[in-house]
Amino acid sequence: MILLQILTDVADSLAFDNDIAAEFGYAVTGGSTFLGVPVLEKMSFLNLLLRFGFNLLVSWILVHFLYYRKKGRREYYLTFLAFSAAMFLLIFLMESVKLQIGLTLGLFAIFGVIRYRTETVPVREMTYLFVIIAISVINGLALNISYAELVVANILLVSLIAILEAVFARRGKDALASRIVLYDKIENIVPERREELLADLEKRLGFRPEKVEIGHVDFLKDAAWIKLSYRLQPGEESTIGNITREKDFHQN
C-alpha cells in the first residue's frame, strides 16, 4: 500500500498542469504528454514549420539574389543560411518560454563580437550577417502580429537592400580604384614626361591611370612609389590595391 501510494504521488506530480503550461507559453488543448510535456501540439508545430519555411525563403532570396549574385563570396552562402536557420529556431523556442528580448539579442551580440575570429569578416558580409539576424529575430518573435504584417515587414527589408545594392552598383561604375606600385624608371616621374609615364604604366599594367601621384623616391635604387587611380571594368573589384610590399602580400 505504501509503495502504491508513492507511485500515485509520483504520477500526480508528473501530471501536466495547464496553468503552468500557460505560464510558459504553451496552449494545450488536449492530447498525450510525456513527463509533463505535450508530445505534439498541432497548432504550435504547424506555426513552427510555416514560420521556419518563410524565414528560410526570405533569407535565401536575400543571400542568393542580392548578396551572392553581386560579387558575393561562396563560403558565406552556406554560413548565412545556416546562421539564419539556427538563429530562427533559437529565437522561436526561446520566445516560447517568455525570455526577455534583451537576453535574446544579447546572445547574438556575442556572435557579432566573436565574428569567427579565425579571419576578419569584410564590412559587406558583416552587414548581410546583421540583416540575417534582424530577419530571424523579426520572424521568430513577431507572434502577435498578422501574417500580412510579417510578410510586408520582410518585403520592405529585402526591397531596401535591393534598392541600395542597385544604387551603389550604378555609382560604382564611375568610381575610381587606387593601387600603389614601385616604379623603376624615375626619369619619367618629372612633370615634363608625364605622358611618357602614363604610356609606360599603361603598357605594363594593361590600363591607363586616370591620376598619378608620386610618393617616396629612392635615388640609390632608382625607384619611386607611385599611387595610381583608375576606373574599374564592369563587375571588377579591387581588394588588394593598398598592398605595397611583398611581405604585406604574404600576410593577407
pLDDT-derived band at 159 (thresholds 50, 70, 90) equals very high
Query: Is pLDDT at 7 greater than 70 in this prediction?
Result: no
Query: Of 64, 88, 37, 66, whose CA–CA distance to 160 is shortest?
Result: 66
> pTM, whole model, 2 decimals?
0.57
pLDDT band with cut points at 50, 70 and 90 for residue 200? very high
Portion of the chain with pLDDT greater than 70, in percent:
62
Three-class SS state of 248: helix
Q: From the centroid of its chain, how far is CA 219?
A: 48
pLDDT at 143 over 60: yes
Type of residue numbered 120: T
Q: Return the bridge partners of 34, or none.
A: 37
Q: What SS3 class is residue 178? A: strand
105/196: higher pLDDT = 196
pLDDT at position 18 is: 53
**Grid coordinates given for 189:** 616621374
How far from 107 is each of 55, 59, 97, 144, 168, CA to CA, in Å? 19, 20, 16, 22, 32
Beta bridge partners of 235: none
Exposure string for 154-187, b = 16+ CB within 10 A, e = fewer: beebbeebeeebeeeeeeeeeeebebebebeebe
Please say if the pLDDT value at position 166 is more than 80.
Answer: yes
Q: What is the pLDDT of residue 108?
A: 58
